[in-house]
Chains A and B, each alone.
Chain A
Amino acid sequence: MDDLIRINDLRVEFSLLGGTIEAVKGVSMRIRPGSTVALVGESGSGKSVIAQSIMGILPKVGRITSGEILFADPDKNNEVIDIVSLSPDGQQMRDIRGGSISIIFQEPMTSLSQFHTVGDQIGEALHLHRDIGSKEGREAVEKMLRLVGFPDPSAAIDTYAFELSGGLRQRAMIAMALVCRPALLIADEPTTALDVSIQATILKLIKELQAELGMAVLMITHDLGVVANVADEVVVLYHGKVMESGCVGDIFGKPGHKYLQALIKAVPHFDMKAGERLTPVHEIDYESGPLMSAKEPWPSDLDKEATLLSVNGLTKHYTTRKQSWFGSREATRITAVDGVNFDIKRGECLGLVGESGCGKSSVSKLIMRAISSDAGTVTFNDRGNIVDLLSVEDEEMMPLRRKIQMIFQDPVGSLNPRMTVFDIIREPLVIHEIGSAREQADMVRELVRLVGLDPRFLNRYPHSFSGGQRQRIGLARALALKPDLLICDEPVSALDVSIQAQVLNLFKDLQKDLNLTYLFISHNLAVVDYIADRIAVMCRGRIVEIAPRELLFRNPVHHYTRRLMAAVPYPDLDRKLDFSSFEKLGSNEPASWPKPFAIRPDLPSAMFDLGGEHYVLAAEGTSPRELGS
């Protein structure tokens, strides 16, 4: 057998309360030694189940009903073993698992134990499969940690997972998977939970290690940009069946199957023309009704383009506790939001992008007064009546809360599982005592139709809805009070690409129909580019660049924006990520940026107007010519 892995007609069944579900319906595929195969599909397509079957770690309710997984183990002179025939917990399977085939998962936070040091967990994998002394073992672990890019491996070996950042945790996970130099690495959505720039470094790392160790990689992902950048061969999965497979050039060059074509069309990208619409796999039909359109009118003499929300010098510090349990420590002050300024005009959508931890969610919470600010003002234009949201009394804030509503990232956590959808959508109306019970019921029914759901499902509970549907329920709830401003905090980042396109289009349409204003927060540049009119880029609590969308991504000026742009993987084989030039752009540490963008306490910086509403943060006294515009 030339292949490392050959899967023939694999069928996997899950027995659940209501009966059995066939998650994998006769899949055949192969992985050649040293190559990268991308397994593409949306959630529920069975791609993780295939990975679990290869590893022999299917959950208890799962069962392989037929088919074979042939593995030519290079550790045993390419002797061919059928993994399906092995007992999952038997010695032979355990030798393969972690030794010849290993896996990394999506969530680096939960994949590592919090109770054991990184070195202990990596070393464990090594000692299980290699007969090696504890001293040599430690050295091997250190070498591995250096290989995956830990700056100080001998210190890192004794740290715990919670002391590391998300990117470093994923590196530790990779070190654990690779320490026994497996023949196959299964990467199950390894970068989905990470920011673009960390994603780029992790992808680069996997590629480099693959070349160095000569291993094959099975990359499971739903991100076609990642596929284009790493894969040699692609297998497209839909509802447990292979739709299409072949080498990456053929797949992207002439996608044969309708599903793949639809999937490619559903991904937002930077080459979209103004007004071009994404085509989701399934479009949502929605209808607006009379109740929602009957909105409190704005005075006719007011400027149509008036500023709705103006944020000035918004600042928030977090202080760590002065005394720890074990003696006193220096109190450290972290500035989460550092003098942020921006305006949002009526009817506009302002996108706010940045990596996790840059303070973008803190900004939304500050505007909603969910956390208190340390300095700055947030003025809101309530039909000509200008109020500072941060200084009004609580009882004055209550009617203003109807005007600003929020949509959250997590479609599971943001809906109370013990309330029916009807009660969830109705709750804002009850809190603000709007209308009689009958009027509220009418309103709820109109709202669900507005987000394209069937009013017959109103008495169901959130768990019977999919992620995209739940996010639409969240949207209906936010719209119940007929708000002027919607703050959307990463509303589509937990959704599959096809669902994402659907929800994004709904957001766009409703904005037009209901004359809404959005503050749209996301770490996905392409998504923001698709939906926003103007975009603000945030890093370390500061806005470093703000511009209309057609200017910002075509002509990024700030170093950080360019760095973000360089990290975005395009679903296009002609524009692969240039890992080495990305590397040259350095870290996201403001002090390390090149002049005039470096931010240090001794270098005061200011926003520079480049014309056309394009502003960029740079050191004071910089000439516009230096900014390269």
Chain B
Amino acid sequence: MVSYIFRRLLIMVPTLLAISMIVFIIIELPPGDYLESYVAELQAQGENVDPQHIEFLRENYGFGDPPVQRYLSWIGGMLQGDFGYSFEYRLPVTDVVGDRLFLTILVSMATILFTWMIAFPIGIYSATHQYSWGDYGLTFIGLLGLATPNFLLALILLYFANVYFGTSIGGLMDAEFIGKPWSLAKAISVLEHLWIPVVVIGTSGTAGMIRRLRANLLDELQKQYVTTAKAKGLAPFKALVKYPLRAALNFFISDIGNLLPSIISGAELVAVVMSLPTTGPILISALQSQDMYLAGSFLMFLATLTVVGVLISDLLLAWLDPRIRLMGANTK
């Protein structure tokens, strides 16, 4: 097992290298660079452009260098913890992202928890009560959740939260706490605001997971070993949790690999609509303004999450499913 983990970690290195090349190429693909769009923007606003300042920036950040050299210095910097400089914010990338990263992770984790807490009981109920009124009703609500666009749900929830609870519109906390150090009042304010983005971001994922859990569990419930468990005299609920639910969990664990990046990237549009102080809106504006180091670091961050997520789900699967653990050596 140890050597397996080690080998998997080793494989991650070339994977991430390949991803970094693709990310770099994609960022370089559009014509021009940040400085050109910066100059164009300044001129459009009728401001004077100091050619010397532009030239200085061009020199300093190696815009004139050949792409390979720029790629190497970008990668080299990242390895040392230097993610580059955001032109737009005129700050190192770490400073731009840093304080937002915590809130992003908070929103994401809360969303994952929300998804699991809602999807599991409903999925199990739907599968064990197939074709009952409860199943139809929950399926209908689930499909509604799947079909409603996130931003629309966000606007509706924001409105009602404001009308009924007096929650301020947008953001993750009341305006007075922004930029202030953490305190109990600030934490409460964050919790007050948190549920809206969590519900909004989590709804479609929850609905999807209910459908998948129901389908998987229905397959498993047909199987003979469920009857065996019942024939032993096991109580129905215990028999359900120990045998078919366990078998239906495989899909759910393999899903973890996709879960992290999809929640973090899927949340971006919502974050813009709700003006959340998370990382999403920065990524979008960085891509728009060709702020290459910021955008590149972001994409690498998402890629790393995916690779790590897949590793975690593979390890969990091997740990949970003895067939994977013990039969890996056999070929059919």
| Residues of chain A having any CB pair with chain B under 8 Å | 55, 57, 89, 94-99, 102-103, 105, 107, 110-117, 121, 124-125, 128-129, 160, 162-163, 173, 176, 318-321, 323-327, 329
Contact = CB atoms under 8 A, between A and B. Distances in A.
CB-CB nearest 8 A-B residue pairs:
A98-B233, A324-B329, A98-B232, A325-B328, A110-B224, A97-B233, A94-B233, A125-B232
A162 B228 contact: no
Interface in B84-100: none
Interface in B174-211: none
Interface string B47-60: 00000000000000
A89 B236 contact: yes
B225 A326 contact: no
B318 A115 contact: no
A160 B326 contact: yes
Of B233, B321, B324, chain A has the most CB atoms within 10 Å of the CB of: B233
Contacts of B324: 325
Interface residues of B, number: 33
Nearest to A90: B235
Given A55-B231, A102-B232, A113-B243, A321 B224 contact: no
Contact of B329 (A102, A173, A318, A320): A320
Given A325-B328, A326-B4, A326-B325, A57 B232 contact: no
B29 interface: no
A57 B230 contact: yes
B3 A96 contact: no
B326 to A, nearest CB: 7
Interface in B279-332: 318, 320-331
Of A107, A112, A115, chain B has the most CB atoms within 10 Å of the CB of: A115
Contacts of B328: 321, 324-326
B227 A105 contact: yes
Interface in B1-44: 1, 3-4
B327 to A, nearest CB: 7
Contacts of A112: 225, 228
A57 B231 contact: yes
Of B230, B232, B243, B320, chain A has the most CB atoms within 10 Å of the CB of: B232
Nearest to A102: B231
A102 B237 CA distance: 20
Contacts of A163: 326
A115 B322 contact: yes
Contacts of B232: 97-98, 102, 124-125, 128, 176
B60 to A, nearest CB: 48
Contact of B327 (A129, A162, A173): A162
Contact of A103 (B231, B322, B325): B231
Contacts of A125: 232-233
B233 A129 contact: yes
B211 to A, nearest CB: 22
Contacts of A327: 3-4
Interface of B: 1, 3-4, 223-225, 227-236, 242-243, 246-247, 318, 320-331
Contacts of A116: 242-243
Nearest to A114: B323
Contacts of A113: 225, 228-229, 243, 246-247
Contacts of B327: 162
Nearest to B229: A113
Contact of B225 (A89, A110, A117, A160): A110
Q: Is the interface of B mostly helix, strand, loop or mixed?
A: helix
Nearest to A186: B231
Given A102-B231, A102-B232, A325 B4 contact: yes
A98 B228 CA distance: 9
A114 B323 CA distance: 7
Given A96-B233, A114-B247, A325-B318, A57 B325 contact: no
12 contacts: A57-B227, A89-B236, A95-B233, A97-B231, A115-B321, A125-B232, A162-B322, A162-B323, A325-B318, A325-B328, A327-B4, A329-B329
Contacts of B320: 115
Contacts of A324: 328-329
Given A113-B247, A321-B329, A326-B328, A128 B4 contact: no
B231 to A, nearest CB: 5
Nearest to B231: A103
A163 B327 CA distance: 9
A162 B326 CA distance: 9
A62 to B, nearest CB: 13
A330 B225 CA distance: 33
Contacts of B3: 326-327
A124 B230 CA distance: 11
Nearest to A60: B130
Given A111-B225, A111-B228, A162-B323, A326 B233 contact: no
A107 B321 contact: no
Nearest to B224: A110
Given A320-B331, A326-B318, 7 more contacts: A57-B230, A102-B232, A105-B227, A110-B223, A111-B224, A128-B233, A320-B329
A176 B1 CA distance: 31
B235 A89 contact: yes
A336 B242 CA distance: 38
Nearest to A126: B232
Contacts of A94: 233-235
B330 A320 contact: yes
Nearest to A94: B233
Nearest to A128: B233
Contact of B230 (A97, A121, A321): A97
Contacts of A321: 328-331
A115 B246 contact: yes
Nearest to A125: B232
A160 B225 CA distance: 14
A114 B231 contact: no
A615 to B, nearest CB: 34
A470 B232 CA distance: 36
A160 B322 contact: yes
B224 A107 contact: yes
B155 to A, nearest CB: 44
A323 B3 CA distance: 12
Contacts of B231: 55, 57, 97-98, 102-103
Contacts of B236: 89
Nearest to B4: A326
A107 to B, nearest CB: 6
A545 to B, nearest CB: 31
